[in-house]
Amino acid sequence: MDIIKLKEKLALIQDYWNPRIVGELNGQHIKLAKIKGEFIWHKHDNEDEFFMVLEGELLLLFRDKKVVLKKNDCYIVPKGVEHKPIAEEEVSIMLFEPISTINTGETENERTVKDLERI
């Protein structure tokens, strides 16, 4: 196993809302992504979702609250909880998710990414 240099991996990502796999851990993918703008309301019925902000500020909207994550903040969205990520400016994030997790949850649309690239 090689050292995963997050800064170098993030430099390879030039688009938004298209997570890349940088490793696997106990049936989980470790993903990096750059995001900007609004995502869709979605949920993951069977998987928790771990967000860590590496750069920028991320707003997670929930039906009953909002959570603001800044650099080095983490948040776990419990399975079955509807949420909507929003990034007013570019944000770099790391995600830990079961390998079966689809980025848009049960909703399939133009932002759905099923075949993730490994970087």
pLDDT 10s digits, 29-62: 999 999 999 999 999 899 999 999 999 999 999 9
Residue 67 to residue 47: CA distance in whole angstroms: 19
Residue 57 CB partners (closer than 8 Å, separation 6+): 68, 69, 70, 71, 87, 88, 89, 91
Residue-wise pLDDT for 88-111, tens only, equals 999 999 999 888 777 666 667 666
CATH assignment at residue 29? 2.60.120.10
Q: Is residue 104 part of a domain?
A: no
Does residue 118 sit within a domain?
A: no
Output the pLDDT for position 101.
72
* pLDDT attached to residue 113: 72
Q: How many distinct helices (H) and strands (E) make up the chain?
A: 1, 7
Spatial CB neighbours of 110, under 8 Å, sequence gap ≥ 6: none
- Does the residue 70 lie in any domain? yes
pLDDT at 79 over 90: yes
Residue 115: inside a domain: no
Return all residues near 28 (Cβ < 8 A) that are at least 6 apart: 96, 97, 98, 99
| Position 38 in a domain | yes
| pTM attached to this predicted model | 0.87
d(CA 110, CA 100): 19
**What is the pLDDT of the chain when averaged over all its residues?**
91
Asked if the structure places residue 107 within a domain, the reply is no
- The domain of 43 spans 6-98
Indicate whether 111 belongs to any domain: no
The total number of structural domains in the chain stands at 1
Structural domain contains residue 91: yes
